[in-house]
Amino acid sequence: MTHIPVSVIVAAGGTPDDFHACLQSLRSTLGLRDEVVCVLPPGRPELHAELRGEAWLKVIEPTAGSGVADRWAAGLDATRHPIVVLIDGDVIVSAHWLDPVLEPFHDPSVVATGPSCQHTYGPQQAHLPDHAMTSAAAFKTYARQWRQDHRGEFSDVDRLGPVCVAIRRDALAIAGGPTADLPWDGLAAQGRITVAHAALVAHVASPSCGLRADFLDPPDAPLLSASLIVKDEADVLGRSLDALRDLVDEIVVYDTGSTDDTVAVARAHGARVIEGFWNEHFGDARNRSLEHCRGRWALWIDADEIFAGDPRVVRASIAASDARAFFATIDNQEGHEGGAGASTIYYPRLFRRAPVRLYGRLHEQVVDRITGQAMIGPQLPELVIDHTGYTSLRRTVKGKTERNLRLAILAAEDVSGITAVGNLARAQIGSGHLEEAIETSRRGLTQAKENSHQVLFLKILADAYLALNRLAEANETIEELRRVASTAFTVDEHEVKLRFAEGDYERALEIVARLPESGMNDLLYGVGRGRFAGLHIDALSRLDRHQEAAVQLRTSLREGRVPVPVSRMAQVLGAADGSLAEVAELLPREGLRGLLFGIAEAPPEAADELLEALWRRYPGEPTVLTVAARVGRLVPLIRAMEWSARLRQHGFAERCTLLALSEDSRRTPRERTLAAAIALEMFHDEAALPLLGEALSAVPDEQSAPVLEEMRILAPRVSDSIELADA
């Protein structure tokens, strides 16, 4: 061997046969000056037996109870070369694997390198076909071809997995020494981390893998922790935490740099708050939150999500289960004014905490912290989460679309692969970069080997073409999707939008009618008639079937869904001799939150009409007042005065609509003047004084007399004061 000399530290593990195969494959790949230390875990005498007669390596047995990090440290103490290779004991290496792994170290800026590896967490992950692992000879043949196909390929990444890596000894020391997951942030701060794609190793990943020793639950661990990462979520966080009270034993909130009252709200609701940082990486932030959790199980939930299931059933299910994860039902409110229906996805949000990591800068995945394999398990019907983060108001407030695009671009730079391409395409279409989404999806289709990846890119393509009104291309893409999809409604959900865009409303209604009440498409997203309730209503209206459209809208409202924008509801109900007031009566209380998101985006007149109806049904409701405070500055003066009185009566004086109107540059100087005068007259609010002065100075001379005349009627004492001052 011609590579630079290295110290190889093997953490013994796996079955005796796996460990024996590891040593046999490793020995033939070493150079004359390489040194090997094998560190035995406590309580595994059968592994010690495999080392008899192996004079080419040194055996170390740390004290009982030592973890993986301690075993790495013991190996480091017993070796001397500047480059150390840390390798798990159930890894099979291929011929000449060390040469490409060590090649990057000729560049002093490189601090760590890893081979392509089956069953590892992180960007080293390689997926080997079944036939490559039928025998040692089959793996050897496959690895030889792999080496030829990937010769000279290296990628810079932000981290590696724990299974097989080479690291500069001094950089590891500066980073704080070995840890169970290895200190990748500290290493990345010192230099480059790379993957040597031509080197291939296979990780058997048996249940007795030596790397799992550190990731066991302590005997006194509570049952369930809730884990959140937050930033500037004070407006929604309290409701989310309240909903968790009967479900979890502890709530851990990891704050990534809030500038509002988020931290205070979290503490007031009983959460343990970790004031952390944000490094443009969702997976990292979620892992930092999980590190502070103590539960045997963890629930990942966000501040704009509400647990809506049965806490007793969920707790009983996980207490009695040997599953590793459970899928939650996540109901997403979507679209403009909260009125584009809803979608449902199924995702493993509840999982055993110790063996899990979240992987990915964006659209993070729940994976095994050693093998990188996705955590799967049964669906738990009682685990239901309502999510409002996809409404356009929430997206705008949080800047989600552009943030997601930025993170997707960074993720594609972190690691190559089809997942990064898919996340980039999703972020591009979500942020309205449609042409870029088409280009990325076309590129993804050329790389996609799995059916699910083909489906993903074709669905993104279909939506992009529909958004651009390129209907012929959308039709071609949908037909291509039909050939690869395994369920009809994976295709139907796009075809219904195509037929509507073409003006074939009858055909669109036929497709909606054949959709299931609820089902799951090829990508594990919920598909059902309810998601297309808004399109159903619009199609009926376009066919002048106004009574049917109103019936469909009323049915959706009774079911707690808000399928169309508030302004559209006014049109549909008005065409059927109804009114917006019906909405307040029909919608159950659990649907109120979604409706209020929609009202905040509606035209002021419609918003005010519906808020008034809601106020009559729910007098004193704080959430209604909160939205009214936003809308009130835009309504006629007399209505702003009424909402101001209600807000002040219920303790929201700081949100006074009159004061808000008086400082709103979109309103005329006359309106601003009268609003400030009324606030001063009716409520003796001195905060109105400077606003009144500013507004008065902006009133044109020719309008001064009429404005003062109105003020004498609406705010006589304030008017008298102004006239006395002028005198």
CATH of residue 588's domain is: 1.25.40.10
How many angstroms separate the CA atoms of 678 and 692, rounded?
10
Residue 517 and residue 475 in one domain? yes
Task: Report yes or no on 380 lying in a domain.
Answer: yes
How high is the pLDDT of residue 412?
67
By the 8 A CB rule, do 411 and 426 touch? no
Q: Determine if the pTM surpasses 0.85.
A: no
How high is the pLDDT of residue 389?
57
Task: Report yes or no on 433 lying in a domain.
Answer: yes
Task: Report yes or no on 628 lying in a domain.
Answer: no
Phi, psi of 551 (to 5 degrees): -60, -45
CA distances (Å), origin 492, targets 132, 464, 482, 498:
38, 16, 9, 10
Higher pLDDT, 276 or 386: 276
The helix-helix angle for 488-502 and 471-484 (nearest 10°) equals: 170
Q: What is the pLDDT of residues 221-265, one digit of tens each?
A: 999 999 999 999 998 899 899 999 999 999 999 999 999 999 999
Residue 17 and residue 166 in one domain? yes
Can you give the residue range of the structural domain that contains 598?
402-617
Residue 228 and residue 209 in one domain? no
How many angstroms separate the CA atoms of 677 and 671, rounded?
10
pLDDT band at residue 637 using 50, 70 and 90 as cut-offs? very high
Residue 370 and residue 453 in one domain? no
Which ranges of 246-298 does DSSP label H, i.e. alpha helix?
262-268, 282-291
Q: Which helix (H) or strand (E) holds 490?
A: helix 488-502
By the 8 A CB rule, do 211 and 163 touch? yes
How high is the pLDDT of residue 336?
38
Say how many Å lie between the first and final Cα of the chain, rounded: 102
Q: What is the pLDDT of residues 598-609, one digit of tens each?
A: 787 789 999 999
**Cα Rg for the chain, rounded, in angstroms?**
31
Written as one letter, the residue type at 245 is R
Average pLDDT over residues 265-292: 94
| Torsional sign, CA 340, 346, 352, 357 | negative
- How would you classify the pairing of strands 192-203 and 110-118? parallel
By the 8 A CB rule, do 314 and 343 touch? no
Task: Report yes or no on 612 lying in a domain.
Answer: yes
Distant-in-sequence contacts of 124-131, Cβ < 8 A, 24+ apart: 124/160, 124/161, 124/163, 124/164, 124/195, 125/161, 125/372, 126/200, 128/202
How high is the pLDDT of residue 214?
67
| Torsional sign, CA 366, 371, 373, 376 | negative
By the 8 A CB rule, do 221 and 319 touch? no
Cβ neighbours for 171, distance < 8 A, ≥ 6 positions apart:
111, 112, 187, 190, 191
Q: What share of the chain is helix, strand, coil (3-state, %, to 5)?
A: 50, 15, 30
Residue 570 and residue 642 in one domain? no
Residues present in the chain in total:
727
> At 184, which CATH number?
3.90.550.10
How high is the pLDDT of residue 396?
44
Of 71-80, 86-95, 528-537, minimum mean pLDDT range: 528-537
Written as one letter, the residue type at 21 is A
Of 206-210, 490-494, 693-697, minimum mean pLDDT range: 206-210
Cβ neighbours for 707, distance < 8 A, ≥ 6 positions apart:
669, 670, 673, 674, 699
Task: Report yes or no on 131 lying in a domain.
Answer: yes
Task: Report yes or no on 138 lying in a domain.
Answer: yes
For the cut 60, the answer to whether the pLDDT of residue 24 exceeds it is yes
Q: Quickly tell me which residue has 């002028």 as its tokens.
A: 726
Give burial (CB, 10 Å; 0-12/13-18/19+) of 531: buried
How high is the pLDDT of residue 342?
62
Residue 646 and residue 713 in one domain? yes
Task: Report yes or no on 603 lying in a domain.
Answer: yes
**What is the SS3 assignment for 345?**
strand
**What is the SS3 assignment for 26?**
helix
Cβ neighbours for 546, distance < 8 A, ≥ 6 positions apart:
540, 572, 575, 576
How remote is the C-alpha of 352 from its chain's centroid? Answer: 19
Cβ neighbours for 531, distance < 8 A, ≥ 6 positions apart:
341, 342, 343, 344, 493
**What is the SS3 assignment for 44?**
coil
Residue 265 and residue 281 in one domain? yes
How many angstroms separate the CA atoms of 652 and 654, rounded?
5
Q: Which helix (H) or strand (E) holds 228?
A: strand 224-230
CA dihedral 406, 407, 413, 416 (to 10 degrees): -130
Of 137-141, 560-564, 674-678, minimum mean pLDDT range: 560-564
For the cut 70, the answer to whether the pLDDT of residue 485 exceeds it is yes
Average pLDDT over residues 450-456: 90
Q: What is the pLDDT of residues 397-424, one digit of tens each?
A: 445 667 777 777 776 666 656 778 888 8
Average pLDDT over residues 54-61: 91
Domain boundary among 396, 412, 438: 396
User: Which percentage of the chain shows pLDDT scores above 90?
Assistant: 66
Task: Report yes or no on 192 lying in a domain.
Answer: yes
Per DSSP, 125 falls in state B
Residue 202 and residue 225 in one domain? no
How many angstroms separate the CA atoms of 410 and 423, rounded?
11
Give burial (CB, 10 Å; 0-12/13-18/19+) of 275: exposed
| Per-residue b or e along 14-35, where b marks 16 or more CB atoms closer than 10 Å to that residue's CB | bbeebbbbbbebbeebbeeebb
Identify the CA nearest to 663 among candidates 679, 643, 647: 679
Joined tokens for residue 520: 């799951």
Domain boundary among 396, 411, 442: 396
Question: What number of other Cβ atoms are within 10 A of residue 196's Cβ?
Answer: 25
Give the Cα-Cα-Cα angle 448, 452, 454 (nearest 5 degrees): 40
CA dihedral 523, 524, 526, 532 (to 10 degrees): 0
Domain boundary among 396, 431, 466: 396
Residue 91 and residue 187 in one domain? yes
Residue 379 and residue 493 in one domain? no
For the cut 50, the answer to whether the pLDDT of residue 337 exceeds it is no
Distant-in-sequence contacts of 434-440, Cβ < 8 A, 24+ apart: 434/464, 434/467, 434/468, 435/464, 435/468, 437/461, 437/464, 438/464, 438/465
Number of domains in the chain: 4
The chain-wide mean pLDDT, for the chain, equals 89
How high is the pLDDT of residue 392?
46
Q: What is the pLDDT of residues 523-551, one digit of tens each?
A: 878 778 888 999 999 999 999 999 999 99
| Greatest mean pLDDT range, 44-58, 378-392, 575-589 | 575-589
pLDDT band at residue 724 using 50, 70 and 90 as cut-offs? low
| Greatest mean pLDDT range, 305-309, 399-403, 410-414, 642-646 | 642-646
Average pLDDT over residues 650-677: 94
Identify the CA nearest to 601 among candidates 561, 568, 576, 553: 568
By the 8 A CB rule, do 366 and 351 touch? yes
Q: What DSSP string runs through 569-612?
A: HHHHHHHTT--THHHHHHS-GGGHHHHHHHHTTS-HHHHHHHHH
For the cut 60, the answer to whether the pLDDT of residue 192 exceeds it is yes
**What is the SS3 assignment for 350?**
strand
pLDDT band at residue 593 using 50, 70 and 90 as cut-offs? confident
Identify the CA nearest to 272 among candidates 297, 293, 257: 293
pLDDT band at residue 559 using 50, 70 and 90 as cut-offs? confident
Residue 426 and residue 357 in one domain? no
| Torsional sign, CA 649, 650, 654, 660 | negative
Q: Quickly tell me which residue has 């917006």 as its tokens.
A: 580
Per DSSP, 374 falls in state B
**What is the SS3 assignment for 667?**
coil
Joined tokens for residue 118: 């089956």
CA distances (Å), origin 418, targets 124, 415, 453, 524:
14, 10, 8, 18
CA distances (Å), origin 719, targets 586, 656, 715, 723:
45, 21, 6, 6
How many angstroms separate the CA atoms of 640 and 646, rounded?
10
For the cut 90, the answer to whether the pLDDT of residue 426 exceeds it is no
Give the Cα-Cα-Cα angle 529, 534, 536 (nearest 5 degrees): 60
Residue 203 and residue 220 in one domain? no
